[in-house]
Every structure is written in structure tokens, then in C-alpha cells.
Amino acid sequence: MQRRWGITVPFQELPLAGQRELIAELPDLGYTDVWSSEANGTDAFTPLALAAAWAPRLRLGTAIVPVYTRGPATLAMSAASLAAAAPGRFALGIGTSSNVIVERWNGIPFEEPYKRVRDTLRFLRKALSGEKVTETYETFQVRGFTAGVVPDPAPPLLVAALRPGMLRLAGREGDGAILNWLSPEDVRTVVPHVHQGGAGKEVVARIFTMPDVDADTARGIARRQIAAYLNVPVYRAFHEWLGREELGPMWRAWDAGDRKAALAAIPDSVVDELVVHGPAEHCRERIQQYVDNGVTTPAIALVTPGDPADAVRALGLK
């Protein structure tokens, strides 16, 4: 099996149109994959379409596209288009996203997230195979949709998952899972739930990384990231399930409206567990620990301030 070494695109601090040279360099640096995301920056598909043209050897993946913010047919069309443009090199990752993105930013009710992901997964499996879909699911209905573009092969369907129910769905009905905001040690807790659904499932993990940044700077940046994410209900529930009691003081301060105290309450030990930082060689070794514990595809997410080029090159395998 090919060793996978992925990175998150687009890169922060660079204009989207100015990333061509760095993305084209990625295969020669040892990267095999680029994975996009979707929150309040670029959409998930455009950076991958550019990467497909700029670096045709790279595998492409979304990590993730929310299941609420596009209609099922529109999501299928976007996925089919990219899969047809890069045959055999695209994986579609879907997930709930969060109540912040879905409800607050898009005005869509964040209801029955597990069922919505399950239903979307089942619809996409049929639609991307070219089957005409007329079906009433529990969370939406589709009447007579047939994809006008049918990719060959159909892309793998991965599910963003945090806790056991969604992890098992990813393994049972999906082709694997996408993980986020966890330590290498947490991988041992999470991955067995995926494999309950079957052997050989892909496990992607977005790994927040800051190579060659001094510890104080790295921890300051990481604390802000942790506070922004891990107070969102879905991530808080995830870390409560993992037993990360050290975050209790942060959650209590955040609930009380004291953002400054919440930041200060995040222990260095938690920062160092969840965000990879230090010399580039140490970062590569730490990322490898995720792989050793069950991640098949690391997707490095740089949070290094400034021009990312040096960090990208430092973390490459060649």
C-alpha cells in the first residue's frame, strides 16, 4: 500500500491564484494528497480543481463538505464533476459541519445530523453510480434525479466522524472516516469503531502543525484555535467522550462569557497533545505517530504564521 502524506489546501497567507508553483512542487516534496475544507474561506471544490490542473499526480479530497449547505443533487453534481476531471484521484468527504456554520451562517436548521449524513451517503452512493434516484429519506426526499455526469470510477465516500455512532457509520456504509482535533493517542480510541464496519477502511486525520516555530508562539496560536473549535458543541462533546477533563476549566470560563480566562485555562499539555509543533523533524515524527496508531492518510493543516512555503518544504518526505 502506498504511503500517504497529505496536506491541507489552500494555504493560508497566500492568494489563491498565487499558489500554483507551491502546489505543483508538492509531489516532488513527497506529498501524495491535498485535502480541502469548507468553513468561511474558500469552498471545498475550487482549490482541488486548481490542484488537479496544477499537479496531476496528487490525489484530491474534501475534508469536508457539509451535508446541509448544498442540496443533495447539487452536492452530487459537484462531486461528479471533480471526479470526472481527475479520474481515480478524488475522494469525497462529507460531514455535518457544525451548528455555527449551518445555522448561524447559513440559516439552515441543524437537525438530526446523524440521519442527515446517513441519508446523504446513501443518496450519493446511488447518484454517483448513475442510478436514477426517486426516494424519500428520513431527512429529505429526491424525485427522479439522474446525474448527467457519471464518473468512472465513482469516488470513495468518506464520513467526518467524532463519536462512536458516526464512526461506525463511516466504516459500515462509507469507505472510511475523516478525523479532526485529536492526539495520536486518541487515534487508538477512535479507529476501532471505524473498523467495526469492515476491514481496509481509509482513516484521514487533519493534523494541525507548526514546524520551526518557538514554543511560546506556537502555543499562543494553538490556544486560540483550540478555544475557537473545542467550545463548539460537537467538538466539546467529542473531547468529553475522550475523557479530556483538563478542558473543564476552559469550558466553564467560556460558558461564563470570560474568553480571556478560557484561553488562559488551556494547559500546555493539552496544546502539545492536539497541535504538532517544534523542529520540523520532530513534527514529522509526531505525525508518524498518528499513522502508527491507525491513521492511513495524514492531512497536515499548517497554522504557521507568514509565508507557508518553508513549512511545506520542511515537512515533506523528500
Tens of pLDDT, residue by residue, the chain (318 residues): 689 999 999 998 899 999 999 999 999 999 999 999 999 999 999 999 999 999 999 999 999 999 999 999 999 999 999 999 999 999 999 999 999 999 999 999 999 999 999 999 999 999 999 999 999 999 999 999 999 999 999 999 999 999 999 999 999 999 999 999 999 999 999 999 999 988 899 999 999 999 999 999 999 999 999 999 999 999 999 999 999 999 999 999 999 999 999 999 999 999 999 999 999 999 999 999 999 999 999 999 999 989 999 999 999 998
Q: Answer yes or no: do 10 and 123 share one domain.
A: yes
Q: Answer yes or no: do 122 and 27 share one domain.
A: yes
Q: Are 216 and 18 in contact (CB under 8 A)?
A: no
Q: Answer yes or no: do 109 and 167 share one domain.
A: yes
Q: Answer yes or no: do 163 and 262 share one domain.
A: no
Which CATH number do you get for residue 303? 3.20.20.30
Q: Answer yes or no: do 76 and 219 share one domain.
A: no
How many domains does the structure of the chain reveal?
2
Residue 1 lies in a domain: no
Structure confidence at residue 1 (pLDDT): 66
- For cell 466553564, the residue is 252
Residue 107 lies in a domain: yes
**Quick one: how far is CA 259 from the chain centroid?**
26
Strands 141-145 and 133-136: antiparallel
One-letter amino acid for residue 220 of the chain: G
Structural domain span for residue 152 = 6-212+279-315
Residue 79 lies in a domain: yes
> What b-and-e string marks burial along 136-149, b requiring 16 or more CB atoms within 10 Å of the CB?
ebebbebeebebee
Q: Answer yes or no: do 106 and 90 share one domain.
A: yes
